[in-house]
Structure 1
Amino acid sequence: MLQALAPRFNQRITFALTGGEYLSDVTVTLNPERGVELLKARTHGPFIYFRMPPGRYRIAAQAGHVIEHRWVNVPVKGGIDTRFYWPEPNRHGVVSSL
């Protein structure tokens, strides 16, 4: 059902572990390239969808002690999918190579 709604949104984000398991309880912060924070939210599931003006945005996603950042360009038409993967979000200070 959620997949059927996805085309209505122009920015779709998925959160998962590198092993393939979906991840929830991720803190997401959304900032335009120039400007103040637009959103800070905590997910209740592995997906969060937005409908937002076209432009360049910085997305920060925090799972456990690990924060990942992505720059995305939201197009005028269509949408984009952004995925965040963590090796193990609760292993603070651990460096892994992929």
Structure 2
Amino acid sequence: MKTTHSLMLSVTAVCLLMCPVMLQAASLEPIDSAGVQVQQQQQNGINYLSGGIGLDESKAIQQTTGYNLHMTFSVGTGNEYIPDVDVVISKAPGQTVFNLSQAGPLVYVQLPPGKYTVTATRDGVTRHDTADIGSGAARNLVFHWNDNS
């Protein structure tokens, strides 16, 4: 009985050590890739992804590479993902390089190096941010609205 009990403790210890690794690996895979409807699109020579409705789709977008501007749109105290955001990316005042309607909740864009102003509008409420795009890591912008905006 002691041998069985020791063996069970050893198996449990190994499982506890491996579970975080297995959970992390599981989070890298879409749960149901058949349910993912996101495809790369292009506008003015700029590649982008827009979507993230549901867990599978948001994971699929977050796992993509090659996009140097990542935008996330959320609302409320729970930071819930929201779609239907209008996005305008400008290189200089009046020089729009990218314009997307009803986007999100995740938008990933591949921009040429430079400094950009990003404007995100939801239900008439506008948020602004800047992104200095270079050859380094992707720039992450989070646009958040209150529940009542």
Contact 2:87/2:103, CA 8 A, preserved across alignment: no
Q: Which has the higher contact order (CA 8 A, sep 6+)?
A: 1
More helix by share: 2
1:17 aligned onto 2:75 = yes
- In 2, distance between residues paired with 1:72 and 1:62? 17
- Tell me the percent identity: 26
Give 1:85 deviation, angstroms. 0.4
Residue in 2 that maps onto 1:94: none
What TM-score comes out, normalization by structure 1 length? 0.80
**Structure 2: runs of 5+ lacking an equivalent:** 1-59
Are the structure 2 counterparts of residues 76 and 35 from structure 1 closer, same or farther at C-alpha, using a change threshold of 3 Å? farther
Q: Which has the larger radius of gyration?
A: 2
What TM-score comes out, normalization by structure 2 length? 0.55
**Post-superposition, which runs of at least 4 consecutive aligned residues in structure 1 deviate over 2 A?**
none
Residue in 2 that maps onto 1:38: 97
Give 1:8 deviation, angstroms. 1.5
1:26 aligned onto 2:26 = no
Q: What is the total number of aligned residue pairs between the two structures?
A: 89
Query: Partner amino acid for 2:114?
Result: G
Paired residue for 2:130, among 55, 60, 71?
71
- In 1, distance between residues paired with 2:103 and 2:92? 26
Residue in 2 that maps onto 1:55: 114
Residue in 1 that maps onto 2:11: none
**Structure 1: runs of 5+ lacking an equivalent:** 92-98
